[in-house]
Amino acid sequence: MAGEDEVRSWLAAAGRVTVLTGAGISTESGIPDFRGPQGVWTTNPAAQHMFTLQNYVADPEVRRLAWGNRRDHPAWTAEPNAGHHALVTLERSGRLRAIVTQNIDGLHQRAGNAAATVIEIHGTLFDVECLGCGARTTMRENLDRVDAGEPDPACLRCGGIQKAATISFGQSLRPDVLRAATEAAADCDVLLAVGTTLQVQPAAGLAEVAVRAGARLVIVNRDPTPYDALASALLRDPIGTVLPRLVAAAAA
Ligand SMILES: [Zn+2]
């Protein structure tokens, strides 16, 4: 198993690095993770009920609570941290193929990564999608309607139920987004998996796609993952500490 020095040299030599990010990169920005030891799902499995599409569609009370959660989500005030900024440095070095993120918090773009570089496989909190006609609007304008007294704002085009443009339990990933993510995983020299427990498919399977295509898999995560045996290096240090060190040589 390689160490941090070798990872630095791989990144410095790489033409294309694809980064896969999960909740762990955003916890240092104050956004809780869901599946870690202190995660929302782990400590309160009932919370998962609200994020299941079937329950959301069936129960107006679930929707009312969900709109309140969106309004109170820490992503509205969170700031990108040193881990996010390191990936901007990597993009400026010309070596970043894509960031495939499981996060919905928009912090990669806020940090300064190009929107076209960020593939949000679980969607974004900042858009709303109509489950009826597919119309997309901004979260901000819908939350304004909530604040003006509509507990569950319906689609202005078709009257349908609206939801954050995120992937709920029971909801499929968008095929075009998944395709772009798979292409990015298959087309890199290094897949850097950061802050993801690699437990959710199909996101986790991207690690295997990359390895089969000949890439080195580097996992930066506090806890073990099911893909550790496939990895060329495992780094356990805090993300905001280790990522800036990793990209420094690549940017030089
Ligand atoms: Zn609609």
Q: What is the pLDDT of residues 185-238, one digit of tens each?
A: 999 999 999 999 998 888 889 999 999 999 999 999 999 999 999 999 999 999
Other beta carbons less than 10 A from residue 39's beta carbon:
16
The answer on pLDDT for 33 being more than 80 is no
d(CA 235, CA 216): 14
Which residues are registered as beta bridge partners of 235? Answer: 220
Average pLDDT estimate for 21-47: 77
CA 76 to chain centre: 16
Centroid of ligand 1 to alpha carbon of 51 (angstroms): 20
d(CA 183, CA 215): 13
Centroid of ligand 1 to alpha carbon of 128 (angstroms): 11
The two three-digit tokens of residue 107, written as one number: 């912090």
Of 97-106, 149-158, 169-178, the one with minimum mean pLDDT is 169-178
Q: Is 84 one of the annotated active-site residues of the chain?
A: no
pLDDT score recorded for residue 9: 95
Centroid of ligand 1 to alpha carbon of 136 (angstroms): 8
Which residues are registered as beta bridge partners of 120? Answer: 101
d(CA 169, CA 175): 16
CB burial string 202-216: b at 16+ within 10 A, e below: ebbebbebbbeeebb
Cβ pair 221, 236 in contact under 8 A:
yes
Centroid of ligand 1 to alpha carbon of 130 (angstroms): 5
Q: Write out pLDDT tens, residues 155-187.
A: 999 999 999 999 988 888 999 999 999 999 999
The answer on pLDDT for 117 being more than 90 is yes
d(CA 87, CA 74): 21
The answer on pLDDT for 36 being more than 60 is no
Neighbouring residues of the ion ligand 1, judged by CB less than 5 Å: 130, 132-133, 135, 155, 157-158, 160
Q: How many CA atoms lie within 13 A of 75 on its CB side?
A: 23
d(CA 171, CA 104): 15
Please give the full DSSP string across 88-109, using - where no structure is assigned. HHHHHTT-EEEEEE---S-HHH
What residue ranges in 131-228 does DSSP mark as E strands? 136-138, 162-166, 190-194, 216-220
Determine which helix (DSSP H) or strand (DSSP E) holds 233, and give its type and residue range. strand 233-235
Map residue 32 onto helix, strand or coil.
coil
The answer on pLDDT for 41 being more than 80 is no
CA dihedral 172, 176, 178, 184 (to 10 degrees): -170
pLDDT score recorded for residue 52: 87
pLDDT score recorded for residue 34: 66
Cβ pair 75, 107 in contact under 8 A:
yes
Cβ pair 56, 49 in contact under 8 A:
no
Centroid of ligand 1 to alpha carbon of 229 (angstroms): 46
Determine which helix (DSSP H) or strand (DSSP E) holds 139, and give its type and residue range. helix 139-147
Centroid of ligand 1 to alpha carbon of 118 (angstroms): 27
